[in-house]
Structure 1
Amino acid sequence: MADDPVERQLLGAEPALTRVEVAERAGVPPEVAQELWRLLGFAQQDDDAVAFVEADVVALRQAAELVELGILSPERQAALVRTWGRAFARLAEWQSTLLADVAADRGDLPELLPELVGEVVPKVEALQGYVWRRHLAGASARLFADGAPPDADALPLAVAFVDIVGFTSRSKELDERELVAWIEHFEAECSGIVVDHGGRVIKNIGDEVLFVVDEPTAAAEATLLMAARGDDGHDDFPQVRAGLAYGDVVARLGDVFGPTVNIASRLTSLARPGTVLVDRGVHDALAETDGLTFRRLHRTSVKGYAHLQSWALRRARD
């Protein structure tokens, strides 16, 4: 294998071990090691390929210890490890591109990139650990809010989808850099609004953001704010439409599932530009809330729901 200074710096050593040797040193069956490697999304290596370092041995041994502790039980192992792999793969792709752009702007890429990696990566690694711990503390606080973990698999949440209006036509007018900047601005602004209202962004899906909030009132305020900003000609926030539903939601590995999520998605597809549509759960929870009005719409047939009832949500002054 050709010597790669960036790879050597990131891995802490030059690869000197094969997959079989890593499994032997970690005390893990080779087939188990190979499956974990595959679930993490790493490229498969031949048995005789020298592609591993001592850090791989430590990581594999720690994974085996988590299995023994029950954290990586057979039921959770594949889904959890696969989620790790997807999340960090996306993060690594973005960060490596960012580092390469910075190095290219400073001068000669091959010479400066290893130096930049050595300078930046330890700081990014420490910051990622801090962010993870803070999110873990927040998630634990929500989970154990009543002093004990919830017995039910599903918890009541307000679920919202917010979708950019006219994304396809607008994207054709922008070059690649402009499109990325536009989407990143939309995601950043949405994230700020959601956090300010006590919510959590679940994921960004191209021109759409999915988020949840514990309280339907705060979720309504967040979606109405996004819609109002999109309708403001002096605001560079894009015009949007939104669907908001409230009810039991199954949360698993950072994602959300269930009829409430499906209904919020269907409502978004029905909403007109600048409009927030809500389901019966939101209507019943907020019907008596000052400052909000509801306009009942005709029942609509959408995928999975033959007669979906919805309401257009507005601020009273509108």
Structure 2
Amino acid sequence: MIAARLNRIAAAGATAHPHSRIRLADGHLITVTAGPDAEVLDEVFLAPGLTAPDAEEWSREGVTDWGLADQEHGGSLYLNVPVEAVRQLIQDHLGEHEEQDQDNFPAVRFLLNARNHRGQWRVNVEGEQVGRIYLEDGIWYARAYGSDAPVACEESEAAAARLVELADLAAGRTVTAEQALRTELAAHGVMTPHLDEDTFIGGHRNSWLVVGLSDGDFPNMQEQPYVLVTLHDPADGDEVTVERAARAADEWSTVIGTGNPSAGARAEISGRSFPGADVAAVAAYIAQWRRNPYAVRDAALVERNAVNSNT
């Protein structure tokens, strides 16, 4: 039995949302905190109705502010609990529920096995082990089976996503522009780009990705900054999409949006364009915008004004 959510939390660390919940198959809830590449969970809160085993691993009880409200109704908090002890508790309650909170863990195609004695997490894609990820000197690495060259990434989720992409390529499965860009963005810590689209009469569909200044909900484009990115073939003026594989003749286009809360309106500036094959440069540009949105916006304005003055 693979405790997939527990493994993802233990690998990535419950950092973006400090308290990550695990819903058990019998309806009980566990809430945990952890750092990345964890063998021990910092805190484990058992919601009312769930009892800890009578074992040494569960002997360190504690109290924190985030647990007080639930503790008043019978919950209990435990400190420094080994991941394997929590895994056993999950198995004793029929495993993890199929429905889990999405919070900082978006839906993915991979499953993580438990951390092995070498500190590596094996990655499963569609029932097949395709490689392993591991943390070394603060950097996550993805190593596909059959390859001696690991790929460096910033986060465990990005490393696992890279193995999914490599598995698709090895199997001859098409990697769409959206999938490729999501993988590259994840390597920069951008975890929740949002797919958006318009469908027209006759079934024609345009699609693009929208990235806000932080991960989470879709940005309010009337009030909040964002970057919109899509792919098109300059020879085909009608197609705007991220839902097929990028081709050599394609071009990535970015648009920088600046919301205006007082006016309830938004302004958009054309950002940089990139060759269809250079998805890594697109992701790096968006990551740069996230770090310093106003500098990237101002640079886009300068470039636009320079083009206008030459026409």
TM normalised by structure 1 equals: 0.29
> By percentage of residues, which structure has more helix?
1
> By percentage of residues, which structure has more strand?
2
Could you say which structure has the greater relative contact order, defined with CA pairs below 8 angstroms and 6 or more residues apart?
1
